[in-house]
Amino acid sequence: NAGVTQTPKFRVLKTGQSMTLLCAQDMNHEYMYWYRQDPGMGLRLIHYSVGEGTTAKGEVPDGYNVSRLKKQNFLLGLESAAPSQTSVYFCASSGGLNFYEQYFGPGTRLTVT
């Protein structure tokens, strides 16, 4: 099992450009999450999903959109990147009886210039 994978690992964008981050999990988990990690601020929840076709806003959703067309995939989109979105992005998933225990991907380091 690969667990949770994220694509790409690194990306540099210019202000105003768009991109999509892909998260995939092979554990048949119902719940999936997108976080951003910034120094001194821990992880903050951007958006999450409780199942295929459903999404919801987290703590810091502005400037991001998400989609969950397939149970195993959770996409995070930036329509018009801003320097404030420079961060490390982590995807996580959870499910089953231990739905509260989250498994994390390796992260995507995004720089917006």
Partner 1 sequence: AQSVAQPEDQVNVAEGNPLTVKCTYSVSGNPYLFWYVQYPNRGLQFLLKYITGDNLVKGSYGFEAEFNKSQTSFHLKKPSALVSDSALYFCAVSPSNDYKLSFGAGTTVTVRA
Site residues (vs partner 1, CB under 8 A): 4, 31, 33, 35, 40-45, 48, 50, 58, 90, 92, 94, 99-107
Taking the least distance from each CB to partner 1, the nearer of 14 and 62 is 62
3-state secondary structure of 39: coil
CA 94 to chain centre: 13
Beta carbons within 8 Å of 96's beta carbon, 6+ residues apart = 28, 29
CB of 87 to partner 1, least distance (A): 14
3-state secondary structure of 84: helix
CB of 13 to partner 1, least distance (A): 20
Residue whose entry in the numeric block shows the structure tokens 């719940």: 31
CB of 109 to partner 1, least distance (A): 8
Q: What are phi and psi of 78, to 5 degrees?
A: -115, 115
